[in-house]
Amino acid sequence: NVNGNEKDPFHSTMVDFVNLQKQIDQLSAFSDSPAPSVTRILYSHNDVAARRFIKDLMGRAGLSVREDAVGNIFGRWEGSEPDAPAVATGSHIDAIPYSGKYDGVVGVLGAIEAINLLRRSGFRPKRSLEVIMFTSEEPTRYGISCLGSRLLAGSVSLAKALTQTVDNDNISFLDAAKSAGYAKNEDFSNVFLDEKTYSAFVELHIEQGPILENEGVSIGIVTAIAAPASIKVDFGGNGGHAGAVLMPQRNDAGLAAAELALAVEKHVLESGSIDTVGTVGIMEVHPGAINSIPSKSHIEIDTRDIDEKRRNTVIEKIQESAVSISKRRGVELLEFKIVNQDPPALSDESVVKAMESATQVLGLSHKKMISRAYHDSLFMARKAPMGMIFIPCYKGYSHKPEEYASPEDIANGVKVLALTLTNLSLN
């Protein structure tokens, strides 16, 4: 029994980090962009192939695999009390354009390895253990972040919206999901989790920031996840010839977008807090010709804060700026859509304690920290006591190809996860 020997909870069984690294590398090959970058978009050919890879590994780990209508994948290890709420862990494997190999992946492959480690060490779960691979944590294709976990958490508005959502190529969510083998039944409310499904949820993830590496700390124990929001804005103007239309006659939709992007930065800085951030990561002009005045523009704004009220104030100011810029420039504000405006989430004290005690038993240094990135845990916290385990990553790099976490740090994360799962399973 894992709890029997505090000095060596895994009975000399090791994390197979050579094999785990091999799996991380193999998974990274399912990509729409060249290595070392990774691009894996929801329901694409590579996403479907990567899903097959994950299901295969879950099967080999002795987990029974099931999938829901949007493709959240669950691998279950039945405990000796199969009717008790289970303990779940997991993350995502979709990857934004030109990102890295570790974001999300460590929390899925690492979770499967944690299960393997527990099996090898002779552990027998009391509460069942489940590994979840969440669908589309990244908002890349349909603009909706944490799509799978948001739906599991019971978002009625999302369940409805998914029946009408299309991507930039006008491919509907339904068609894309069907082509990947999902959405056989178009009622997505059957994805919602029942209240007592899970007694706890834990996610292992790279920090995506520099603190652990800088301070030489092995494990971050997340106490809260910052509140994210995203906004889409469209401006429209008359466009016209870049030579013939004189400056006073123009209403340039591109310049309105540029001005709003600068306003985002200004309003974020006005908050006075280092915790407020804002990014314009998408900016498009139509028709996109050097000698044509932009007649349409589209920008997408991401803004976050650990303080929800302060984040909401920034959103209000951005909206006021969008209106005033459009008036002053004589362009039309065609759309100002708050796509999501999510509250922050707090980790649960019981899960924090389980993670802390795991680091202590394993003799690993740890510190409590907040997550500035969002995660599926933000939504799982609505359905179960939640906690997150962070591991260091090189220079805090993430969402770019240089993202890296060392096999040793990943192995530490897997051990802490495995021991946390045992604590929660036996409780």
List residues near Mn ion by CB under 5 A: 103-104, 232, 234, 298
- Report the residue closest to ligand GLV, judged by CB: 373
**Least CB distance from residue 211 to ligand GLV, whole Å?**
16
Which of 250/296 has CB closer to Mn ion? 296
Which of 193/373 has CB closer to ligand GLV? 373
| 278: Cβ contacts below 8 Å, ≥ 6 apart | 264, 265, 267, 268, 301, 302, 303, 304, 314, 318
**Residue owning tokens 């929001």:** 229
Residue 212: contacted member of Mn ion, ligand GLV, none (CB under 5 to 8 Å, by partner type): none
305, 273 Cβ separation under 8 angstroms? yes
Output the DSSP codes for 53-90.
Answer: HHHHHHHHTTPEEEE-TT--EEEEE--SSTTSPEEEEE
**Least CB distance from residue 158 to ligand GLV, whole Å?**
17
Segment holding 417, helix H or strand E? helix 407-426
Residue 250: contacted member of Mn ion, ligand GLV, none (CB under 5 to 8 Å, by partner type): none
**Least CB distance from residue 256 to ligand GLV, whole Å?**
26
**Least CB distance from residue 340 to ligand GLV, whole Å?**
12
What is the Cα–Cα distance from 278 to 301, expressed in whole angstroms?
7
**Least CB distance from residue 98 to Mn ion, whole Å?**
12
Inter-residue long-range contacts of 28-32, CB under 8 Å, 24+ positions, other chains counted: 28/101, 28/105, 31/95, 32/97
**Least CB distance from residue 159 to ligand GLV, whole Å?**
22
Please state the φ and ψ torsions of residue 97, each to the nearest 5 degrees.
Answer: -55, 130
Residue 374: contacted member of Mn ion, ligand GLV, none (CB under 5 to 8 Å, by partner type): ligand GLV
Which of 68/138 has CB closer to ligand GLV? 138
210, 396 Cβ separation under 8 angstroms? yes
Which of 101/415 has CB closer to ligand GLV? 101
**Least CB distance from residue 388 to ligand GLV, whole Å?**
12
Cα–chain center distance at 110: 16
101, 48 Cβ separation under 8 angstroms? no
Output the DSSP codes for 320-370.
Answer: HHHHHHHHHHT-EEEEEEEEEEPPPEE--HHHHHHHHHHHHHHT--EEEEE
Which of 2/95 has CB closer to ligand GLV? 95
- Report the residue closest to Mn ion, judged by CB: 104
Which of 113/138 has CB closer to ligand GLV? 138
Residue 234: contacted member of ligand GLV, Mn ion, none (CB under 5 to 8 Å, by partner type): Mn ion
219, 359 Cβ separation under 8 angstroms? yes
The dihedral built from the CA positions of residue 209, 215, 220 and 223, taken in this order, carries a sign that is negative
Instruction: Work out which of 43, 235, 374, 390 binds ligand GLV, going by CB under 6 A.
Output: 374
**Least CB distance from residue 190 to ligand GLV, whole Å?**
26
**Binding residues for ligand GLV, how many (CB under 6 A)?**
3
**Least CB distance from residue 138 to ligand GLV, whole Å?**
5
Residue 373 as a binder of ligand GLV (CB under 6 A): the answer is yes
What is the Cα–Cα distance from 42 to 174, expressed in whole angstroms?
12
What is the Cα–Cα distance from 43 to 49, expressed in whole angstroms?
9
Which of 61/95 has CB closer to Mn ion? 95
Which of 103/252 has CB closer to Mn ion? 103
**Least CB distance from residue 375 to ligand GLV, whole Å?**
7
Which of 138/203 has CB closer to ligand GLV? 138
Tell how strand 64-67 and strand 198-206 pair up: unpaired
Which of 94/259 has CB closer to ligand GLV? 94
Site for ligand GLV in 140-179 (CB under 6 A): none
Residue 232: contacted member of Mn ion, ligand GLV, none (CB under 5 to 8 Å, by partner type): Mn ion
Instruction: Work out which of 47, 94, 113, 138 binds ligand GLV, going by CB under 6 A.
Output: 138
Write out the residues near ligand GLV by the rule CB under 6 A.
138, 373-374
